Structure 1
Amino acid sequence: MEESQKGEDYKPLEFKSRIDLGQLQTSVAQIKTELGRVIIGQQDMIELLIISILANGHSLIEGVPGVAKTVTAKLLAKTMDVGFSRIQFTPDLMPSDILGTSIFNVKTSKFEFKKGPLFSNIILIDEINRAPAKTQAALFEAMAERQITMDGQTYEMSPPFLVFATQNPIEQEGTYRLPEAQLDRFLFKIKVNYPSLEEEIEILESKHRQKNKNLESLITSVLTAEQIANYQEVIKEIIIEDNLMKYIAGIVHNTRNNANLYLGASPRASIAIMDASKALAAIHGRDFVTPDDIKKVATPVLVHRVILTPEREMEGLTPDKVIKQIMETIEIPR
């Protein structure tokens, strides 16, 4: 009876999102298109950086020199009509070099605070691990609280305020290890690998075609600060079921009881996985999180938040492998 009622014109019900994500998806597609004019490959890095923007989190980009870490972050900032500042960290960099300093105004006979390069929206920090502890501490307050305290005065950072920092994992001379508390403030640690052979050939061909063109001139701004703020609010409305929250908590809890790990992840990591998985779901046009979203963002969220035991480190085990093992042992919700 039911089959006859359906008739030949029967069509299955189509999924309809309960949250309007059309504009967000369009903006993300436009960003990827703009970056695709210059950047070859590195799709995972680009997507994770976009997620970090939507989830309002900072990102640490790690890779050997020459794999387009800096240029990708710089051009991504160019796709947004917001303030941009690039700071090269060096061993002699002082807090005042990034925060600013008070200058005596002869006309008013008062000290006036001249803001430093950290007072912007998108901050690109090159070689973050080269600056000493004092400068790292100054940056830490800005990252953690999105404010800066100078001479007893507190200055709020204008939203969006996002830090994209790069570091080279190979060269250790003249570097300072980032403290765990500061690493914990990064939503992601994005590891950038060498391009494939096909991608490298395409890079050469693209560079040959561009001649001496300025790369930044090829990129058009597609997002405003207001749109970014709106999208960040939309992300908070993405639905995540209770069983998926338990799944996230189980993954993070396992890092604290794992024999291979000396230090596990904090509750901030659980929140980061949830926020990032919501942003990933929205990018793909879904108003709900799936286990696959969680699995995709878990490693870049956790890899810099856990520390191996000395024995396992000597054996050549890596945090990535341990996280993968943990993901394989925890039952995926259905």
Structure 2
Amino acid sequence: MDSFAIQDLISELTDLELAILLALICQEHCVIETPIVNVDNVAGELALICQNKFGLSYAVLDCSSATSTDEFSNSILVPDARKGRLSNQALPSFEAGGYLDERKIVNVVIAKNLDQVSSEIQIQTLELIRSKRIFSRTSIHTAQRTFLFMPVIGYDDTAGRGVRLNKHLNDFFLFSHFHEIGAGLPNLEGDDGWPTDDQASLSSVVRKPQHLDDHFHTNQRQISEQIILHLRLLSDAVSVSAEVNRYLHNIVVFLRLNRGVAGGMSAKATKYFMIVAKSLASLHGIDYLTPSVVCLAAKKVYRHRIVVAKPEDDRSLQYGSHLSSVAMLLKGVDPDQIIDSVISEVEVPL
């Protein structure tokens, strides 16, 4: 497909499809946030997008505080009729009949409510993302070449929005995307193949990719690996002027100095900021970085990272400020407001 055809295809994508495409271009992982009542529907929509739009295998995990490490490990493996090759008879056999467990991890792991699992499983998730492998009782399972881990985190008005994952794990997610209830779920609403509670396990659903046509499947154009590779090359070739580069780093500095920010502004986040900005430029069909694209990237990269400061930790208290005044100033502040405030303060290059 030529560049015009690719841009035409991108313009038809929904917000969740674009989020997955951006993560695949950058070869990193992302967080999907949505109101808590919408978590199951968004997970179903993501699963259908992976299958129908990208032709990828996926596993949907229903995480909770009771989820064990064994359940987590086994739920993300591709189910095969025969798990592996015959083992060497001189070695201990882990499978009945002398077969080694050589199953691989699915292309996309969709983990609902990952913030509710134990710290041990969050650390296991971090190791999975870093090394692209996971240990089970029988073997070491490796990820496939295309691998994406997507937690679907729900929130309610009482809990608010903030960092609820292990801080090291949270930092490894490239960006976050918030899906409103009213944004729509076109794939789920028009699909009859999504399993009901009677048809599938409540703990996990694993599906393999179907054999798809290169460009059409049920009248929908597919996004092939060649298209993703082409967009990745375009992203790497995006030029950044000195003025826009300075603008990007000024946003980082202003975020770090903002009184509402207590943490989350890591070096990895700054690296991801540039990667996402250049990838968004390629998705917009331009080969140079603009201030508007930088602002969009800032909202994507930092909203799940920013740790909102507590009034009692504000630096101005050391110089005579009253706690009640600081508390009033920081009341109701969330990462979205902080990012918008910083963007409005930083001078935009001409």
TM-score, reference length from structure 2: 0.71
RMSD: 3.6
Match runs of 1:184-263 below 5 Å = 184-195=171-182, 213-214=192-193, 220=220, 222-263=222-263
Does 136-145 or 222-231 show the bigger shift?
222-231
Residue 283 (structure 1) aligned with residue 256 (structure 2) = no
Residue number in structure 2 paired with 1:135: 121
For structure 1, the residue ranges without an aligned partner over 5 or more in a row are 1-19, 33-42
Q: Contact 1:53/1:162 (CA < 8 Å) preserved in 2?
A: yes
> Are the structure 2 counterparts of residues 273 and 106 from structure 1 closer, same or farther at C-alpha, using a change threshold of 3 Å?
closer
Match runs of 1:173-184 below 5 Å = 177-184=164-171
1:215 positional shift: 6.2
> Are the structure 2 counterparts of residues 179 and 25 from structure 1 closer, same or farther at C-alpha, using a change threshold of 3 Å?
same
TM-score, reference length from structure 1: 0.74
Does 63-72 or 241-250 show the bigger shift?
63-72
- Taking the aligned partners of 2:117 and 2:151, their CA distance within structure 1 comes to 12
SS class of match (1:166): strand
Q: Contact 2:260/2:338 (CA < 8 Å) preserved in 1?
A: yes
Q: Which amino acid is the alignment partner of residue 25 of structure 2?
A: L
Q: Contact 1:277/1:293 (CA < 8 Å) preserved in 2?
A: yes
> Are the structure 2 counterparts of residues 110 and 221 from structure 1 closer, same or farther at C-alpha, using a change threshold of 3 Å?
farther
Residue 110 (structure 1) aligned with residue 93 (structure 2) = yes
Q: Which amino acid is the alignment partner of residue 55 of structure 2?
A: D
Residue 328 (structure 1) aligned with residue 344 (structure 2) = yes
Q: Contact 1:58/1:186 (CA < 8 Å) preserved in 2?
A: yes
Q: Which amino acid is the alignment partner of residue 333 of structure 2?
A: L
Q: Contact 1:99/1:115 (CA < 8 Å) preserved in 2?
A: no
- Taking the aligned partners of 2:279 and 2:108, their CA distance within structure 1 comes to 19
For structure 2, the residue ranges without an aligned partner over 5 or more in a row are 78-82, 196-216, 312-326
SS class of match (1:195): helix
Residue number in structure 2 paired with 1:74: 47
1:180 positional shift: 1.2
> Are the structure 2 counterparts of residues 244 and 145 from structure 1 closer, same or farther at C-alpha, using a change threshold of 3 Å?
farther
SS class of match (2:287): coil
- Taking the aligned partners of 1:97 and 1:221, their CA distance within structure 2 comes to 35
Residue by residue over 1:233-292, the C-alpha shift from the partner in whole angstroms, topping out at 9 and shown as x without a partner, is 332222222322222222112222222211141122222222222222112211111111
Match runs of 1:4-83 below 5 Å = 21-22=3-4, 24-29=6-11, 32=13, 43-64=14-35, 65-66=37-38, 68-78=41-51, 79-83=53-57
Q: Contact 1:160/1:228 (CA < 8 Å) preserved in 2?
A: no
Q: Contact 1:128/1:166 (CA < 8 Å) preserved in 2?
A: yes
Residue 162 (structure 1) aligned with residue 158 (structure 2) = no
> Are the structure 2 counterparts of residues 153 and 243 from structure 1 closer, same or farther at C-alpha, using a change threshold of 3 Å?
farther
Residue by residue over 1:195-230, the C-alpha shift from the partner in whole angstroms, topping out at 9 and shown as x without a partner, is 17xx79xx8xx96xx6x8436995857133454344
Q: Which amino acid is the alignment partner of residue 38 of structure 2?
A: G
Does 321-330 or 94-103 show the bigger shift?
94-103
Identity of aligned residues (%): 17
> Are the structure 2 counterparts of residues 87 and 319 from structure 1 closer, same or farther at C-alpha, using a change threshold of 3 Å?
same
> Are the structure 2 counterparts of residues 292 and 192 from structure 1 closer, same or farther at C-alpha, using a change threshold of 3 Å?
same
- Taking the aligned partners of 1:24 and 1:124, their CA distance within structure 2 comes to 26
Q: Which amino acid is the alignment partner of residue 278 of structure 2?
A: K
Q: Contact 2:9/2:221 (CA < 8 Å) preserved in 1?
A: no
